Amino acid sequence: MKKMKYQKYAAYPSVAISARSWPDKSITKAPIWCSVDLRDGNQALPVPMSVEEKVSMFQLLVSIGFKEIEVGFPSASATEFAFVRRLIEERLIPDDVTIQVLTQAREHLIRKTFDAIKGAKKAIVHLYNSTSSLQREVVFRKNREDIKGIAVEGTALVRRLKDESGNAGIRFEYSPESFTGTELDYALEVCHAVMDTWGATVVDKIILNLPSTVEMSSPNMYADRIEWFCRNIKARDAVLISVHAHNDRGTAVATAELALMAGADRVEGALFGNGERCGNMDVVTMALNLFSQGIDPELDFSDLPRIREVYRRCTRMDIHSRHPYAGELVYTAFSGSHQDAISKGMKAQPLSPGGLWAVPYLPIDPQDVGCNYEAIVRINSQSGKGGVAYVLEKDYGIQIPKWMQPDFAEAVQGVADTAGVELTVEQIHELFHSEYVKLRESVTLKKCHISWDDEEPRRPDEEDTTISCIVQNKERELSFTAQGNGPLDAFVKGFVRESGHDFSVDEYAEHAIGRSAGALAIAYIKIGCADGRVSFGAGIDSNISLASIKATVSALNRLP
């Protein structure tokens, strides 16, 4: 086996922190959420959103409940600028929503940004510059003091322009970009300088955003960095610690969750993890993770189908079918054991103590996010008896008894194996009828008349039922009258006597299909022969006695 060149890479440095507290903490409330769909998500699209599409996305984010929305980089392009102006001039921003705009720490870009937000009641100006050692040395070729000076000068200009605007609704956010690649002591030094320049107070808090611009370590190491930072930042009550996790290692949600446990107040992310490279932290997943633990996410994802539709239309991006909570297959079970457990869990759910959700394999109720139970169980060659029985009962009211389920499941798997595709519920229903109900082979019931004695029987085993039948048995026509303690017993005795074929009824079940007065009855039967063979049958009729006899004929026709 060829070995990969792992020697090219160095391990991420650990944080020197004693008695870390975050591993013993739990998340008990939602963070302050900020959507970056219209900036970080948009700039990563092969075809960026038009102004109209950005408006649609903005309205979607508002309807979900975001109170802080980064609407773009207005100094970067005419489209971004025009979009921000449209939001303001057409009064599309609700009073309880704050727009956020991003700018590099460069004078002409900062001034253009303030031009864009003129007239906004509330806005967050998000200033950033890269502080990582790699960027300092390779990209900018500047030392620590030079990079800190860029942050301080940019902050001073934002402060001055805010004061000149007279808009008390403007707030300030600073990001030491590539925080994960920046020495902790230096990141703290830069942030302290920015705080001093802005004049951060408890009343006028500054947002310090500590981004995992490139996800470079396991989530626990990022949590260590956040806890260290929260411990060492001065005037902690004058600061909101925000995190912005990218998904380069596939653990952005865990990174953000552990960061909250480590002391962060605010989380930036995008719907379905959209964003540069491997994307941003997925707000849908993180919010519904909280929801699944009984925590109010303070965002409304109760209509995921609508959210998916708007997202796809505006971004031209798809959502993976296995995407947590939102994928088309996440509330679907193909495995037989899973199907059986889900079926039993659904039936037991009304009895759950306190009404708490408790269904195997389903961490949340699909209906809570606008999905339904239609696709929870889907049938292919890997499906089991429980899943097959579940879909028939749910969609058609056919309650196959447990002792008969393996027989029908075998028939379903045989068809699925041959077809090599998933079977629809309609196909399964038709297969049940063709396998049991519609059989017209070997044995055919041509005529049947049932009569009962007028008097009540003296004993349960007294033969008070008379049956007269004509049955076609292969080439022979059997005509017989027999008595039994019920129609089924009488039919079996008469048929065995006339045909010479010895069998007994080993299992029997029946129920109505539906609840109306005209509902049909269905009977299920298992017969055993003297030579050891067994067979299963089902019959449907408006008369339950005839349904049971039809089920017996079905089982006779299916004898191996």
Domain residue spans of the chain:
29-315, 336-434, 443-557
pLDDT of residue 386: 74
Q: What share of the chain is helix, strand, coil (3-state, %, to 5)?
A: 45, 20, 35
Q: Under CATH, what is the fold of the domain 29-315?
A: TIM Barrel (3.20.20)
Distance in angstroms (rounded) separating the CA atoms of residues 172 and 202: 13
* Cα–Cα distances in angstroms (integers) from residue 345 to residues 336, 342, 349, 358, in the given order: 14, 5, 6, 7
pLDDT of residue 375: 45
Calculate the CA 32 to chain-centre distance: 22
Please tell me whether residue 345 adopts helix, strand or coil conformation.
helix
pLDDT of residue 380: 63
pLDDT of residue 460: 53
Distance in angstroms (rounded) separating the CA atoms of residues 264 and 261: 7
pLDDT of residue 409: 87
pLDDT of residue 304: 97
pLDDT of residue 376: 54
- Which parts of the chain register pLDDT below 50? 375, 457-458
CATH number of the 443-557 domain: 3.30.160.270
Sequence letter at residue 456: E
pLDDT of residue 342: 85
Sorted by sequence, the CB contacts under 8 Å of residue 59 that are 6+ apart come out as 92
**Structure token pair of residue 554:** 């079905």
Q: For tokens 């049947």, name the residue.
A: 448
Sequence letter at residue 82: A
CB distance 206 to 194 below 8 Å: yes
* Cα–Cα distances in angstroms (integers) from residue 270 to residues 61, 226, 310, 524, in the given order: 10, 21, 14, 53
Mean pLDDT of the chain: 92
Q: DSSP letters along 382-440, please?
A: T--HHHHHHHHHHHH-----TTTHHHHHHHHHHHHHHHTSPBPHHHHHHHHIIIIIS--
Distance in angstroms (rounded) separating the CA atoms of residues 410 and 414: 6
pLDDT of residue 70: 98
